[in-house]
């Protein structure tokens, strides 16, 4: 904004010939780009899908868990790995702070990837292809996807989502044939036994302690507990699980700090009511509602108890 008012009659002055020429050229270029943008949207091969469904975090999390249990071929650093059939529907869940599962896809084959978030808004950025999409908690966005280059691609969250944002890196592996599985160490993976889905909860009363521990480890990885709770002693985002059971924790409850015993009841309460007793030092990274069943809580408790 100028401090000096323009001289009177400036608007009616004739524009010089060369300046008029550049105005005309700029106008023609703008019209061309506008028409080209519309045409490219109509005939372009890179248009994103416009297919979306209404969902909610609990519903989509259950969909993800059922999909992974049915299709998992192994684990990669605590993240389930699936190898879907070409042309099939694939479920990809974003949550603080991980993408699950790892996808093994065939080159030049189409897939319908259903993407949603369990908590916050995340950004799906596929590198090095530089594809970018927003991932919202209450929407199931269907990305029609055909990988055309084999190799490993990373999924980066490019929407800030909290203290662990920088660790939220997923993976898509594109293979030419099943022989390529060996390049990534996926040829020797072993998946857990498939379970039969029934309306009634499974009876685990006769399970051995070892079975409970193994079941708890699967849930720990499947539900994304490993994104915040490590088993190597580090506690940057949430308390580490190793050595936790049987110890005493300093927590804040109703504004008061107190010591509590870490036992079965405390673990169950922390899962069912994560905001009731918050461990001192982790007030700024509140735990999300996990919605585990009593059987799942029992297995997770056994797993935490086994970590010395």
Kindly indicate the confidence band of residue 104, based on its pLDDT and cuts at 50, 70 and 90.
very high
List, in sequence order, every beta strand (DSSP E) within the chain: 52-54, 72-76, 79-82, 89-95, 98-100, 102-106, 111-117, 122-127, 131-135, 139-145, 151-157, 169-175, 248-253, 256-261, 278-279
> Which pLDDT score is estimated for 291?
78
Instruction: Determine, yes or no, domain membership for 6.
Output: no
DSSP string across 192-216? PPP----SSPP--TT--HHHHHHHH
Domain assignment present for 31:
no
Residues 217 and 274 both lie in one domain = yes
Other Cβ atoms less than 10 A from the Cβ of 216: the count is: 23
Number of Cβ atoms within 10 Å of the Cβ of 279? 18
pLDDT tops 90 at residue 49: no
Question: What share of the chain has pLDDT > 90, as a percent?
Answer: 43
167 & 77 share domain: yes
* DSSP 8-state symbol, 229: -
Q: Residues 154, 97: one domain?
A: yes
What was the pLDDT predicted at 176? 94
Q: Report pLDDT for 2.
A: 67
Same domain, 88 and 141: yes
Q: Do 168 and 216 belong together in one domain?
A: no
> What CATH number corresponds to the domain at position 64?
2.60.40.420
**What is the distance, to the nearest Å, from the Cα of residue 256 to the centroid of all Cα atoms in its chain?**
34
Per-residue model confidence as pLDDT tens digits over 2-44:
678 878 877 788 878 888 899 999 999 999 999 998 888 777 7
- Give the sheet arrangement for strand 52-54, strand by strand: 52-54, 139-145, 111-117, 89-95, 98-100
172 shares its domain with 270: no
One domain for residues 141 and 228: no
Q: Are residues 77 and 114 in the same domain?
A: yes
Do 214 and 180 belong together in one domain?
A: no
Q: Are residues 111 and 231 both part of a single domain?
A: no
Task: Output the pLDDT for position 174.
Answer: 96
**Helices and strands per DSSP (H, E), number in the chain:** 5, 15
The answer to whether the CB of 245 falls within 8 A of the CB of 307 is yes
**pLDDT per residue over 245-276, tens digit each?**
999 989 988 888 999 999 999 999 998 888 88
Q: Is residue 89 part of a domain?
A: yes
Q: How far is the C-alpha of 93 from the C-alpha of 116, rounded, in Å?
A: 6
pLDDT digits 0-9 by tens, 54-88: 999 989 988 998 899 888 898 888 888 999 999 99
The 3-state DSSP class for residue 254 equals: coil
What value does the mean pLDDT of the chain take? 87
Instruction: Answer for the pair 251, 258: CB distance below 8 angstroms, yes or no.
Output: yes
List Cβ neighbours of 61 (8 Å cut-off, separation of 6 or more): 93, 118, 291
pLDDT attached to residue 27: 95
pLDDT digits (tens, 9 = 90+) for 153-175: 999 999 998 888 888 999 999 99
Residue range(s) defining the domain that contains residue 127:
52-184
pLDDT at 197: 52
How many domains, the chain?
A: 2
Asked if residue 70 and residue 173 are part of one domain, the reply reads yes
Distance between CA atoms of residues 187 and 179, nearest Å: 8
Residue 238 shares a structural domain with residue 271: yes
pLDDT at 11: 77
Q: What is the largest CA-CA distance in the chain?
A: 95
Confidence class of residue 232 from pLDDT cuts 50, 70 and 90? confident
Whether residue 293 lies inside any domain: the answer is yes
Domain of residue 215, CATH code: 1.10.760.10
In a domain, 275, yes or no: yes
Picking from 184, 201, 224, the residue at the C-terminal end of a domain is 184
């Amino acid at each position: 904004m100028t401090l000096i008012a323009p001289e009177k009659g400036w608007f009616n002055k004739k524009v010089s010939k060369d300046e008029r020429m550049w105005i005309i050229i700029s106008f023609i270029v703008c019209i061309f780009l506008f028409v080209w943008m519309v045409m490219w949207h109509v005939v372009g091969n890179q248009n994103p899908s416009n297919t979306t469904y209404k969902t909610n975090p609990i519903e989509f999390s259950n969909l993800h868990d059922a999909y992974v249990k049915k299709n998992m071929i192994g684990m990669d650093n605590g993240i389930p790995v699936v190898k879907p059939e070409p042309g099939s529907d694939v479920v990809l869940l974003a949550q603080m702070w991980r993408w699950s599962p790892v996808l093994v896809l065939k080159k030049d084959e189409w897939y319908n990837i259903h993407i949603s978030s369990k908590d916050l808004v995340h950004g799906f950025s596929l590198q090095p292809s530089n594809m970018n999409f927003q991932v919202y908690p209450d929407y199931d966005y269907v990305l029609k996807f055909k990988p055309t280059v084999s190799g490993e691609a990373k999924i980066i969250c490019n929407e800030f989502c909290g203290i662990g944002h920088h660790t939220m890196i997923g993976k898509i592996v594109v293979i030419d044939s099943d022989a390529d599985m060996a390049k990534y160490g996926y040829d020797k993976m072993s998946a857990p036994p498939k379970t039969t889905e029934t309306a009634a909860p499974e009876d685990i009363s006769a399970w051995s302690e070892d079975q409970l521990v193994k079941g708890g480890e699967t849930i720990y990885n499947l539900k994304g507990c490993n994104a915040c709770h490590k088993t190597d002693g580090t506690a940057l985002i949430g308390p580490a699980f190793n050595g936790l059971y049987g110890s005493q924790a300093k927590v804040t409850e109703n504004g008061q700090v107190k010591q509590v015993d870490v036992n079965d009841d405390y673990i169950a309460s922390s899962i069912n009511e994560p905001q009731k007793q918050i461990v001192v030092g982790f007030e700024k990274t509140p735990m999300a509602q996990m919605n585990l069943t009593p059987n799942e809580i029992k297995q997770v408790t056994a797993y935490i108890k086994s970590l010395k």
